[in-house]
Amino acid sequence: MGGVQLMTAFTGVRRSAMALAFGLLLLVGLGAGASVSAQESGGEVKGNLVQKDDDGERVGVPGVTFRAFDESGAEVSSTTTAEDGSWSMIVPEGTYDILLDVETLPAGVSLRNPDKNPASVTLIDGSSKSTLFPLGEAEASSAGGNTVIQLIVDGLKLGLIIAMCAIGLSLIYGTTGLTNFAHGESVTFGAVMAYLLNNAGVFGVRLHLIPATVIVVLICGSAGGLFNRTVWRPMRRRGASLVAALVVSIGFSIFFRYVILFIFSGRAKRLRDYQIQEQWDLGLFRLAPKDLVLMIISVSVLVGVASALQFTRMGKAMRAVSDNRDLAESTGIDVERVISLVWICGSALAGLGGVLFGLTESINWEMGFRILLLMFAGVTLGGLGTAYGALFGSIIVGLFIQLSTLVIPTDMKNVGALLMLIVILLIRPQGLFGRRERIG
């Protein structure tokens, strides 16, 4: 019986899936050819070599040589720093040791951490990696404290981005019971659309990232509403089980991911605006202007969403449907209208989260899939179906990911967050903000 129901669900959404795929191909295809051809082959490794002068101002160190060595030890590229201390090299994809030639440093200038020279980097075709070589003596008395504070700031930034993406996932689960595995592709879609509008443009006109972001939020919200109307609403009316809907969402996730790969290519790419910025030295930590704006936007949006859920009529209706759908419907609440609005808002937030995530990282075809596990961790940790739980759970995940690098390798930092999730759920299975369900 379950197999027949599943086949019915797939048959019901097949035409809708084809229509959505065609729309995605048209939408993402605008300017895609131009964006691919504009990318240079190979990856870029870059940096900015600076020191403090007698007045405490940061100034570039020109004329210093950097060399790139492949895994066999052969030198593949070299460059020297410009007047402002900037440098970059284009190399084929692979793993390299980037060496600062200390013989070319000015007299009296030395590396702060000579044991970290050379630095190892791994590049994929089209990616860009920044490598830091701090100059001057290390401040042993405060380095540890400053490192912790810097990681806390970085964790807050990551947690806010995860929360932006995860709140929609949590609300969709709360109102429909669906665990939407395709939610990660909404994040990728937002980032890719921002890249196309910002880099390739519309009809040859490149948009600044700010208006491009507004357009992306509107497009993603509309796409979420259309997706609900053409796929999930018909499935609910046919009485498809949540297991069938879960399988369909996994199928859409894989489908959209590889459609984006086919059109966008597998190269990592970056937005045109706000990429090169000098970080502000705020004493205990450093922060780029774009990161500060990103955090302010995230906090403002999340506070706005929380206030809307708490005080507006539609927000109260969303919470009512999440608590008890049948009871909410019996009191006159239009449940389908509430669900449609949840899909629109959730997809719009995911698109905005994709833009913000793409502003801090490179944009690639599986970025949403990589952050999806962190979204699930934040939602589950905070409590399934609760917006506040998703918010605080995501911030905890972001903080733990960054702080775990103090004791484990950076490449394993996500593992630490997931281990923390397991431990907390063993103690409190309903999550930090979830309510224990009564049985019987």
pLDDT value for 285: 83
Identical topology for domains 2-34+149-427 and 43-125:
no
Decide if 48 contacts 84 (C-beta within 8 A): yes
- Higher-confidence residue: 433 or 341? 341
- Higher-confidence residue: 152 or 23? 152
- Higher-confidence residue: 91 or 219? 219
pLDDT value for 360: 85
Q: Calculate Rg over the CA atoms of the chain.
A: 24
Mean pLDDT of 152-165: 92
Distance CA 212, CA 207 (A): 6
Mean pLDDT of the chain: 80
pLDDT value for 11: 46
- Higher-confidence residue: 202 or 206? 206
pLDDT value for 300: 93
Mean pLDDT of 414-426: 79
pLDDT value for 294: 92
pLDDT-wise least confident of 35-49, 209-223, 421-435:
35-49
> Cα-flanking dihedrals φ and ψ of residue 273, to 5°?
-95, 150
- Higher-confidence residue: 1 or 164? 164
- Higher-confidence residue: 344 or 388? 344
**Domain 43-125 - what CATH class?**
mainly beta
Distance CA 148, CA 296 (A): 21
Q: 2-34+149-427 in CATH: which number?
A: 1.10.3470
- Higher-confidence residue: 265 or 172? 172
> Cα-flanking dihedrals φ and ψ of residue 342, to 5°?
-65, -40
Distance CA 256, CA 365 (A): 10
299: left (phi over 0), alpha (psi -120 to 50) or beta: alpha
Distance CA 340, CA 333 (A): 13
Given a cut of 90, whether residue 221 has pLDDT beyond it is: yes
pLDDT value for 183: 92
pLDDT band of residue 259 (cuts 50, 70, 90) is: very high
Given a cut of 60, whether residue 88 has pLDDT beyond it is: yes
Distance CA 344, CA 356 (A): 19
Decide if 271 contacts 209 (C-beta within 8 A): yes
pLDDT value for 203: 67
pLDDT-wise least confident of 301-305, 353-357, 389-393:
389-393
Mean pLDDT of 136-144: 47
pLDDT value for 111: 85
Given a cut of 80, whether residue 69 has pLDDT beyond it is: yes
pLDDT value for 341: 94
Given a cut of 50, whether residue 10 has pLDDT beyond it is: no
Given a cut of 90, whether residue 206 has pLDDT beyond it is: no
Domain ranges within the chain, ordered by starting residue: 2-34+149-427, 43-125
pLDDT value for 435: 61
Instruction: Specify which of 125-134, 153-162, 315-324, 327-336 reaches the highest per-range mean pLDDT.
Output: 153-162
pLDDT value for 138: 43
- Higher-confidence residue: 433 or 113? 113
Q: Which residues are paired to 45 by β-bridges?
A: 89, 129
